[in-house]
Structure 1
Amino acid sequence: MQIFQQTHSREFPSQQLKTDLLVAGGGLAGLCAALAAARDGLQVVLVQDRPVLGGNASSEIRLWANGATSHMGNNNRWSREGGIMGEIMEENVYRNKEGNPVMFDLLLLDMARSEPNLTLLLNTALFEVETAGKRITHAKGFNAINETFYNIAATQFCDATGDGVLGHLAGAEYRVGAEDLEEFDEKMAPGDNFGHKLGHSIYFYTRKSSAPVNFIPPSFALKDIEEIPRYTRLTSTLNGCDLWWLEWGGRLDTIHDSEEIKWELWKIVWGVWDYIKNSGQFPDAENMTIEWVGSIPGKRESRRFVGDHMLCQKDIIEQRDHYDAVAYGGWSIDLHPADGVYSKHDGCRQFHSKGTYTIPYRSLYSRSLENLFLTGRLISASHVAFGSARVMCTCGLLGEVVGRAAALCHQQRINAPQLAEQNRIGSLQQHLQQTGCYIPRQWLNDPTNGAMVTASSEWQLTQLPTNGVWNGLNERMALLLPLKAGETLPELNFTLRADSLQQLKISLSGSERAGNFTPDMPLDEREISVFEAGEYCVKFQYQSTRDEYVFIAFESNEHIEIALTDVQLPGIMTVFNSLNARVAKHTRQLADGDYGVDEFDFWLPRRQPNQILPALRLASPLRCYAAENLLNGRLRPEQHANAWVPAATDSLPTVTWRWEKPQTVYALTLVFDNDFDNAMETVQMGHALAVMPHCVTHYRLWADDTLLTEVTNNRHSVCEHRWPQPISAQRLKLEILNTAGSIAALYSLSVR
C-alpha cells in the first residue's frame, strides 16, 4: 500500500541523458539515421512521439513505402534503395510478404531494440531546445504515458520529425510553401490556382463479410458526394490506400491546423463509404465493411529547411551529379493540388526524369546550425524537388547518410558543413558504398585494397534454351543486354512463329546518358519475315564505345509469338513499353504544357514471379559475368551487369581474393543479388516470393585456412561482417553453398 498525502503541488520525474547523437523522429528516415550512427559506434538516442516506428509506413497510417523504383512504373532499373533501407525492405518481404502493417511495426521495433548503442524513447514529444551560438546543446521531451520529462544533452542532432520540430525550436531557417518560378527556373512551380502545399490523407481498409453489413454514417459525414469532382472514380473494389487522392488541407497551416484537417478527412472518408454502401450504385458492396480507418492523417508537406544547397527541379530532370552526391531519388516530381479531393484539377501532376538523380550532402544539414542534420521530408529542397524526394524509401536512404555522416564528423572532430568540403566528402561517399549504399554513377575505389581475384567458373551468355512456352508480341517488348566498351553485339538468334507471313521490325537503341535505361538513342534497325516456327537471325552493325546497356526491341505484332526460356539471369531482363497506372497515365510521358520536362517512352518489367526472358542463341558468347567485375567497385547493374556469376554446372562456386602480403581486415561487406528492381512495397500490396531467386542463402567465408563464418538462411543483398579483433589474412575465400532457387550472383566484396 502506498499513501500519498496532500501537498501544495507535485512535479513529474525528470531523467538526464547524455549521448553522441540525438535523432528526433522515428519514421523510416529517423530510424535509418539512428541505426547507421549506432552501427558506426555512436551512442544514439532516438526520440519518437508515437507508440510505434515507421511514420507514414506504420500501422497508424498504413501507406506503403516506396522510392526510386516507383512501383516498377518508370525507367529506373535496378534502383531499389540499398544499405539499411534496403535491409528493411528485404527483411520485411522475408517476414511479412503479405504486407501486414502490424508486422512491419514489429520488424522496425525489433531492429531498434536489437541495436546495443541505441536508446529508444517512444511516446516522447520534444518541446524545448537549448542552443549556444550556432550549436544545439540540449533538447527536452515529455512522455505522457510514463509522465516523465527527458533532458537530453548531445554533441550532434538530427531532425527527422517530418515537421521539423527540432529545427523549428532551435531557430533554424526554413520555408513553407512553393517558390516562384523565377527563383530556381522551375517550370513546374505551381500557381495560386493549383496551390502551394500538399495536403494530408487518411487511409482505410475494407473487408468482405459472409453476410450483408449495414452502415449508418456519423452526423459529420459528407452528405453530397458531388462535392468531390472525381467521385465517379470511386469503386467498391478499392482499398483506402488506393484512394490516396482523398486528400485535403494544402490551403491551411499543415502543422497547426492538423486537427481541423483530420476532421475534414474523416468527414470525406465516411461520406465516401456512405456513398459506396448506401447509394445503390455498388450492389457488390452489400457484404463489405470497413475494418480500419486511420486515426491520424498521413502528412505530406510542412516545413522545409535550408542547407547549403537547395535541390531543385533541374537537379532532378537534368539528373545533375553533384560533387557531394551521397544518395539518390527516382520517384516522379509528384505535386498535388492544394484543395485536394475538392479540386477540379487531377489528383496529381507527375513527371519522371529519364533515370535516377543524385542528392547532395549539402542538402542534408542546416546552414543555420553547425550540428543539425536534416533528413526525411524536411531536407533543403524547393517545393517542386520535394515533390520527388519526399517519398519514404528515399527518406530512409537519406537517414542512413546523415547517420554515417554524424559518425564521421564525430571521428574527425568536425561539424556537419565541414564534411561537405571537397577534400573531405569522399570519405563519406566511400564509407556509404563500403556498407552497401549504392550511389548512381559512383563506385568504390579499389574495394579490396589491391587484391587479385579468381573464381572457380564463369557463366557466359551463349544460349537460353526454349521451354516450350510462347509469348505473344501484343505490346512492344525489349531485351536489355550489357556491352563492354569496344565490344560488338554478336549475331542474335530468336525463336519466333506466326499464324501467317508477317514482317517484324527489331530495333537497337541505347541511352544518351550513361547509366540510364531510357532508350532515347537509336542505333540500328532490322526487319525480318516471320512465319514457320524456328530460329530467326538478327545481326546489328554496332560496336559499343562505352560500357552500356542496349535495348533489342521488338515492335508489337499480335500475329507473332516469341519462344521463352526458363533461365533467369541477374542484370539481364525483358521490359515492355507498357503502362503502370499507379504512376503514369500513358505508356509514354507526355507534357500537356511547358513544364520543363522530357517526353519519353516507359519501358517496364513484370513483377516476380512473372518476369520472362526470350529464348536466345548468340553466335559468340557475351562475357557479362567475369570475376574481374568484383574489382570495379560497382554495387549493382549500371552501365554493365557488374556481377560475377558462376557456371550453372559449378557444384561449389568459389571466389578467392589474394594479396601479395597479409592484410589487416577489420570488416568486410558482400553485396549479393536480391533483385534490386523489385519495388518491395512494405504493406498491403503483398509479394509472391519471400526471397528473390538469385539471392545467396548459404555461404562460407575463409581467411587463409581458417573458417571465419558460415551463414545460413541469408535473405539480404548486403551482408556485413565485423570482428571484435581485426584479422590478418593473405587470402579470403567465399564458398557459395545455396541460393533461393536460381543462379548465384555477387557484385562486390569490400574490405576495410
Structure 2
Amino acid sequence: MSNRTRHDVDVAVIGGGLAGVAAAIAAARNGGTVALVQDRPVLGGNSSSEVRVWVCGATATGHHRFARETGIIGELYVENEYRNPLGNPYYWDLVVLDAVKAEPRITLLLNTHITEVQMHGDRISSVGGIVLGSEGEVTVAAHTFVDATGDGSVAARAGARTRLGREASAAFGEDLAPEEEDELTLGSTLLFYTRKESEPVPFVPPAFAIDLAATTIPESRVLRTGDNGADYWWIEWGGELDIVADNERIRDELWAVIYGIWDHIKNSGRFPDAENLTLEWVGSVPGKREYRRIIGAHTMTQEDVVSATRKADAIGFGGWSIDLHPSKGVYEPRSAAQQIYPSGTYDIPFGILRSIDVGNLLMAGRNVSATHIAFGSLRVMATCAVMGEAAGTAAALCAASNWTPEELHDAHIRTLQRQLVRQDAALIGVQDDDPANLALQASVTATSELRWDQLDDPSSSLPLTDDTAFLIPRGQSGPVQVHLSCEEAATVSWAVFETPDGRTYFPEVPLDSGSIELPAGHAGWVALTDELPVGEGPEASTVIVLEAIPGVRWGSSGQYLFGAVSMTRRGTDHVDEIDAHLVADRPDDVVRWGIKKLSRVRLAMRCEGAVVGLEAANVVGGYGRPYGGPRMWSSRPRRDLVAGDPEILTLEWEREVQASEVRVVFNDDVNAYVNNLHYVRSEHRIPPEIVADFDLEAFVDGHWRTLGTVRDNRRRHRTVAFEPVATARIRLVCHRTNGSDLVQVGQVRVY
C-alpha cells in the first residue's frame, strides 16, 4: 500500500523553528499557499519545550532601548505574556502552534524529514522526505523555497555554496576573527529543570557522569541551586567537532556534563540548600548554535554590526551582542562568552536572505549569509524570526508576481519594505512612503495632547549614588526643572548630552553643563537651565545627567512616560556576570548605562508646553516605532476612561478618499524587555498602554458611521476591514486602555 502525498504550494518553508514559523505565517498572510515542514513533533526549534532556550533578540536582555521586535515575533511575545505569565515551556509551544494553525493557507507537516531536493536548472522544483512514525513519504513543490532548517540542509542538497567555521581576520577586515581560518564553531547545549520537593531527594549519578571536581567548571562557571533552564546556557560542547555529523556524540557528552553538575550540586556538600531538590526535566535534543551559513548576495560582517551603517535594502533589525563562545565549551577554563555590544540596533539587509546560487531559494535564521563574527549577533531567535518574516513576505511576493528573489531585490525592494511596514514588521528608521497609504495625505487632530504640566508630581525618589540620567525626545521647550531633595546642603553637577543618532539612546555628545546649589532640607523643583540646547544630530535624543552625590535624591514617579528613559551609570569597578563577558578594550556604554532597574520609572523633570514627540500628527508620520523619539500620539492623563468621555483621533482629507481598510498600531511598550520563558517576569499580562476598547468611524452623508468595533483588545496591531466607503474624515474613538491613564496610538494607516 502506497503512503505518498504531494503538496503543490506557492511557498515551501523547511524548518519549524521561530524563523520558519514567522516565514510561513508571513507568506500565508500575504496571500500565498504555504507548506511548513518540520522534522520534530513540535514547533519553535530551540525555543520549544524540547530544548527550552530563552527567546532573545535585539534588546540584548534589556540593554538596548526601544528594541523589542514587533511583527510576528512581537505578536508571539505579547500573546505569551497574556497566556503564559509563569513561562511554562509547554504553553509557549501552544502559543506558537496556535499562531500557525490560525492561518488557513498553511499546510503543517510535522515529523517530516526532508531527504532529497529536486532541481530544474538553478531552481528547486520540489523537495521530498519521509514522515517519521507513519512510514509515509511526502513531496512538496513550490514556486519559492525558504531554508529555515538552521543547518542549511536544503541549500546544501541544492548545491548552494555555504560557509562553515571561522573566517580569517583579513578575509573581511574583522579584528575579532582569528588570524587563520578554521572550522571551529559555537557548540550545542542541553538544559535541565529542577523542582523542590517536601523531603530530601537523593541522587545517585550514572556511571557516565563526569567528575566535576576534575574539571575547571566549578571555578570558571556560575553554579547556583536556584538556577535552571537557560540559566545554564553555558552547558555547551561540540564546537571542535562536526555539529551535525557528531550530534549523537555531543548529546551524550552534554548528558554526562549535566549529570556531573547535578552530582556536584547534590553530593559535594557545597550546596546544603539543594537537599530537597530533584531533577524535573533533562533535555535530549541538543540546541545547536551554528553550522552552515549559506552564501548570499551580501555577507554581513563585524563592521555591519558594530558600525550600524544604514542599509538601503533593510528588512529588519538586530541588536544582540557579538556573542562568541569558546569552541571547547564547558571545558574552556576562561569565560564562557565574549560579548561586544553594538551601540544601538543595526539594519539587516535583504541581501543576506537570498542564495547567490539557487534562483528561488531564500534563507532565514542561523543559516543566513554572514561571517562567523557577525553571526554571533544575528543567531538569536527573535532576530531569526525577524528575518523569517521578511523571507516569508518576500517569498509570497515572488510567487504572486513570478519574480525571483534576485528580481525582487534589484527592482522591487521598496515593494517589500512597504509591505513589511504595512504589516508592522520589525523595522527601525524605515519611513512609510507607500502611495497606497491614504493616511499619509491626511491632517490629524485629537481631543487632547500630553503636556508636561499634566504629569504627576513625584511620589518617591532615587538616591544619586551613581551618575543618573533621563532621556527625552529632542526639541522640548522652555525652562527645565528637576525635582531634588537633600538633608545637608549640596552642590549638584549636571550636564546635557545628545545621543549619537536616532537608534542609540545613551549620552555621548556633550552640549551644556553647570551646577545647582541646594540648601539644607531642600525638597522640590529647581531650575536646571532656561532652555535645552539642541545639537546637530537631526534624529538624536536629549539626555540630562546628574552626577553622583551622596545625600541627594532625584524625585521619581510610577506614572510611565513612553519615549523617556531613566538610567544609571555603573562604576567601572562594578563586577557581575555580564561584566565578566565584556571585552575590556571595547565600548560598552549601552551596558554601563543600565536601564533594567528603572524600568517604567519616570525621573522628575519637566519643561513647558507639549511633550514633543507625542503629538497627534505623529500617527501619520510614517514611522511605526521609536526612532530618535517615540513618534506617536499620547492623550492627556485620563483617570477613568470607562466613565469619562473618549479620546478621539481624527484624520481629515481635503477631498473624499475611498477606503476599505484601516490599520492601527498601538503602544505595546517596545522598551520593556519580555521573554518567552520569563527570565524577567513582567508585571503586566497585557501592556497597559494598548487600547482595549475602540470604535472606528467615518463621516458619511452628514453623520458618523461605525466601520468597526473592537472590545477587549490586547494586540499592538489591529486591522479593521469594511465595505468600501467614500469619506473625508475617519476617526478612532478610544474608550478604554488596558490600565494606562494615557491613551496612546503609534500609527493609523488607511488603504
Normalised-by-shorter TM-score class: over 0.9
Give, in whole Å, the separation in 2 of the partners of 1:582 and 1:140.
50
Residue among 585, 588, 600 paired with 1:611: 600
- Residue 82 of structure 1 is matched in structure 2 by 70
Which amino acid in the other structure matches residue 332 of structure 2?
Answer: S
Q: How does 1:262-277 map to 2 (within 5 A)?
A: 262-277=251-266
Deviation for aligned residue 1:325: 0.9
Deviation for aligned residue 1:526: 1.6
User: What's the CA shift string for 1:567-586, capped at 9, x where partnerless?
Assistant: 21121221222499898317
| Contact persistence 2:11–2:33 (CA under 8 A) | yes
- Residue 567 of structure 2 is matched in structure 1 by 575
Residue among 565, 570, 577 paired with 2:557: 565
Deviation for aligned residue 1:741: 1.3
Deviation for aligned residue 1:513: 2.6
Call closer, same or farther: CA 1:408–1:722 in 2, change over 3 Å: farther
Q: Secondary structure at the match of 1:378?
A: coil
Give, in whole Å, the separation in 1 of the partners of 2:558 and 2:228.
35
Deviation for aligned residue 1:30: 0.3
Call closer, same or farther: CA 1:173–1:547 in 2, change over 3 Å: closer
- Residue 691 of structure 1 is matched in structure 2 by 686
| Contact persistence 1:570–1:694 (CA under 8 A) | no
Q: Secondary structure at the match of 1:436?
A: coil
Deviation for aligned residue 1:406: 1.2
Residue among 408, 412, 421 paired with 2:397: 408
Q: How does 1:7-156 map to 2 (within 5 A)?
A: 13-73=3-63, 76-156=64-144
Which amino acid in the other structure matches residue 554 of structure 1?
Answer: L
| Contact persistence 1:433–1:439 (CA under 8 A) | yes
Q: TM-score, normalised by structure 2?
A: 0.93
Deviation for aligned residue 1:195: 7.7
Give, in whole Å, the separation in 1 of the partners of 2:582 and 2:234.
21
Q: How does 1:363-442 map to 2 (within 5 A)?
A: 363-421=352-410, 423-442=411-430
Which amino acid in the other structure matches residue 127 of structure 2?
Answer: A
- Residue 300 of structure 1 is matched in structure 2 by 289
User: What's the CA shift string for 1:136-158, capped at 9, x where partnerless?
Assistant: 00111211222211111111100
Deviation for aligned residue 1:243: 1.3
Residue among 495, 500, 522 paired with 1:512: 500
Give, in whole Å, the separation in 2 of the partners of 1:738 and 1:578.
39
| Contact persistence 1:79–1:677 (CA under 8 A) | yes
User: What's the CA shift string for 1:334-361, capped at 9, x where partnerless?
Assistant: 0100000001231011001111110110
User: What's the CA shift string for 1:118-143, capped at 9, x where partnerless?
Assistant: 01011111011100111000111211
Which amino acid in the other structure matches residue 692 of structure 2?
Answer: T
Call closer, same or farther: CA 1:417–1:722 in 2, change over 3 Å: farther
Which amino acid in the other structure matches residue 654 of structure 1?
Answer: I
- Residue 713 of structure 1 is matched in structure 2 by 712
Deviation for aligned residue 1:224: 4.0
Q: How does 1:453-532 map to 2 (within 5 A)?
A: 453-462=444-453, 464-484=455-475, 489-530=477-518, 531=520, 532=522
1:234 has 2:223 as partner: yes
- Residue 323 of structure 1 is matched in structure 2 by 312
Say which is worse superposed, 280-289 or 539-548, in terms of deviation. Answer: 539-548
Call closer, same or farther: CA 1:684–1:193 in 2, change over 3 Å: farther
Deviation for aligned residue 1:296: 0.7
Give, in whole Å, the separation in 1 of the partners of 2:676 and 2:631.
28
| Contact persistence 2:57–2:319 (CA under 8 A) | yes
User: What's the CA shift string for 1:387-420, capped at 9, x where partnerless?
Assistant: 0000000000111101111122123221001111
Give, in whole Å, the separation in 1 of the partners of 2:690 and 2:629.
19
Give, in whole Å, the separation in 2 of the partners of 1:730 and 1:365.
43
Deviation for aligned residue 1:476: 2.1
- Residue 341 of structure 2 is matched in structure 1 by 352
Q: Secondary structure at the match of 2:661?
A: strand
- Residue 662 of structure 1 is matched in structure 2 by 656
Call closer, same or farther: CA 1:564–1:592 in 2, change over 3 Å: closer
- Residue 554 of structure 1 is matched in structure 2 by 546
| Contact persistence 1:45–1:118 (CA under 8 A) | yes
Give, in whole Å, the separation in 1 of the partners of 2:395 and 2:316.
15
1:584 has 2:578 as partner: yes
Residue among 234, 237, 240 paired with 1:245: 234
Q: Secondary structure at the match of 1:454?
A: strand
Which amino acid in the other structure matches residue 67 of structure 2?
Answer: S
Give, in whole Å, the separation in 1 of the partners of 2:721 and 2:199.
57
Q: TM-score, normalised by structure 1?
A: 0.93
- Residue 452 of structure 1 is matched in structure 2 by 443
| Contact persistence 1:225–1:231 (CA under 8 A) | no
Which amino acid in the other structure matches residue 112 of structure 2?
Answer: T
- Residue 733 of structure 1 is matched in structure 2 by 731
| Contact persistence 2:658–2:726 (CA under 8 A) | yes
Deviation for aligned residue 1:22: 0.5
- Residue 172 of structure 1 is matched in structure 2 by 160
Deviation for aligned residue 1:607: 6.1
Deviation for aligned residue 1:77: 1.2
Give, in whole Å, the separation in 2 of the partners of 1:414 and 1:364.
15
Deviation for aligned residue 1:591: 3.7
Q: Secondary structure at the match of 1:466?
A: coil
Give, in whole Å, the separation in 2 of the partners of 1:147 and 1:228.
46
- Residue 696 of structure 2 is matched in structure 1 by 701
Stretches of structure 1 that go unaligned for 5 or more consecutive residues are 1-10
User: What's the CA shift string for 1:356-391, capped at 9, x where partnerless?
Assistant: 110110110101111101000100111000000000
Stretches of structure 2 that go unaligned for 5 or more consecutive residues are 639-643
| Contact persistence 1:462–1:622 (CA under 8 A) | no
Give, in whole Å, the separation in 1 of the partners of 2:316 and 2:257.
37
Q: How does 1:177-196 map to 2 (within 5 A)?
A: 177-190=165-178, 196=184
Give, in whole Å, the separation in 1 of the partners of 2:508 and 2:5.
60
Give, in whole Å, the separation in 2 of the partners of 1:583 and 1:121.
41
Q: How many residues align?
A: 730
Over the aligned positions, Cα root-mean-square deviation in angstroms equals: 2.2
Call closer, same or farther: CA 1:367–1:581 in 2, change over 3 Å: farther
Call closer, same or farther: CA 1:599–1:730 in 2, change over 3 Å: closer
Q: Identity rate of aligned residues, in percent?
A: 36
Give, in whole Å, the separation in 2 of the partners of 1:305 and 1:435.
27
| Contact persistence 1:195–1:337 (CA under 8 A) | no
Deviation for aligned residue 1:621: 4.4
1:677 has 2:671 as partner: yes
- Residue 639 of structure 1 is matched in structure 2 by 628
Deviation for aligned residue 1:463: 5.2
Give, in whole Å, the separation in 1 of the partners of 2:583 and 2:239.
24
Give, in whole Å, the separation in 1 of the partners of 2:589 and 2:177.
18
- Residue 278 of structure 1 is matched in structure 2 by 267
| Contact persistence 2:43–2:93 (CA under 8 A) | yes
- Residue 151 of structure 2 is matched in structure 1 by 163
Deviation for aligned residue 1:199: 0.1
Q: Secondary structure at the match of 1:703?
A: strand
Q: Secondary structure at the match of 1:241?
A: helix
- Residue 334 of structure 1 is matched in structure 2 by 323
Call closer, same or farther: CA 1:681–1:566 in 2, change over 3 Å: closer
